[in-house]
């Protein structure tokens, strides 16, 4: 019976390849990359596409515009004259309702590009291809978390420059607690985007759902501020 393994003859010598313990006919199975290498590649891809699509500009510019608008409104409300209780109450009511509403819109607008970034990969079947090639879901989502954490840091820096330096709205507040609150606000929006990406397959529908949800949350927040 002929041997199941081929025999080759070279210069009069018969050479018989040894069977590899990892695969037949000496073929070695490639070692898959570790999680850290995959994370680095995903982050490189995120930053490359963000620069190509001008995502940093789309995230940071709304933060700058809304921060300047909040500073102007605060200065306008503070310029309302009169020391009578009704005028003071009106001024405080405008500040506690309108300013938090605009700050919430600041966060929502800066993270709106996350819907296009994450849902578009699902719409273009890139997420499916990555799953087929064995990309762990934990590495995939952690890469997006790191990327948008860096985006949030840039946004928070702009907010502090405008609302701490130019117009000291946050003066007298604990800086550490304020940074934590702002960071959690951006990460809350990121979690909303992740949930929407799991529920919707197209960027258009996910964007509409995100806008409706943010509008609802901003309305509830403003109503609570006015009630309190």
Q: What is the pLDDT of residues 98-136, one digit of tens each?
A: 888 888 888 888 888 888 888 888 887 777 777 777 788
Taking 70 as the pLDDT cut, the residues of the chain under it are: 1-33, 82, 221-228
> SS3 of 106, please?
helix
215 beta partners: none
Q: What is the pLDDT of residue 20?
A: 43
Q: What is the pLDDT of residue 225?
A: 61
Q: What is the pLDDT of residue 173?
A: 80
Q: What is the pLDDT of residue 112?
A: 82
When the pLDDT of each residue in the chain is averaged and rounded to a whole number, the result is 78
The encoded tokens of residue 158 equal 């702009």
Residue 196: count of CB within 10 angstroms of its CB:
20
Q: What is the pLDDT of residue 83?
A: 74
- The verdict on pTM exceeding 0.85 is no
Q: What is the pLDDT of residue 12?
A: 47
15 beta partners: 8
Q: How far is CA 111 from CA 98, 125, 144, 149, in A?
A: 20, 22, 12, 11
Residue 190: count of CB within 10 angstroms of its CB:
20
């Amino acid at each position: 019976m002929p041997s199941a393994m081929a025999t080759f003859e070279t210069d009069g010598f018969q050479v018989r390849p040894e069977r590899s313990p990892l695969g037949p006919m000496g073929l070695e199975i490639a070692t898959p990359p570790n999680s850290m290498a995959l994370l680095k590649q995903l982050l490189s891809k995120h930053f490359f596409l963000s620069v190509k699509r001008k995502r940093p500009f789309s995230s940071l510019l709304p933060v700058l515009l809304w921060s300047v608008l909040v500073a102007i409104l605060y200065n306008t409300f503070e310029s309302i004259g009169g020391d009578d209780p009704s005028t003071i109450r009106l001024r405080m009511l405008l500040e506690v309702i309108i300013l938090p509403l605009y700050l919430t819109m600041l966060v929502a607008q800066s993270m709106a590009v996350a819907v296009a970034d994450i849902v578009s990969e699902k719409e273009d079947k890139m997420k499916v291809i990555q799953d087929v090639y064995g990309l762990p879901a934990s590495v995939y989502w952690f890469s997006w978390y790191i990327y948008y954490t860096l985006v949030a840091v840039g946004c928070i820096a702009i907010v502090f420059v405008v609302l701490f330096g130019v117009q000291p709205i946050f003066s007298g507040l604990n800086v550490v607690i304020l940074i934590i609150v702002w960071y959690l606000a951006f990460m809350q929006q990121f979690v909303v985007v992740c949930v929407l990406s799991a529920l919707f397959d197209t960027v258009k529908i996910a964007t509409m759902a995100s806008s409706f949800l943010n509008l609802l949350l901003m309305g509830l927040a403003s109503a609570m501020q006015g009630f309190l």
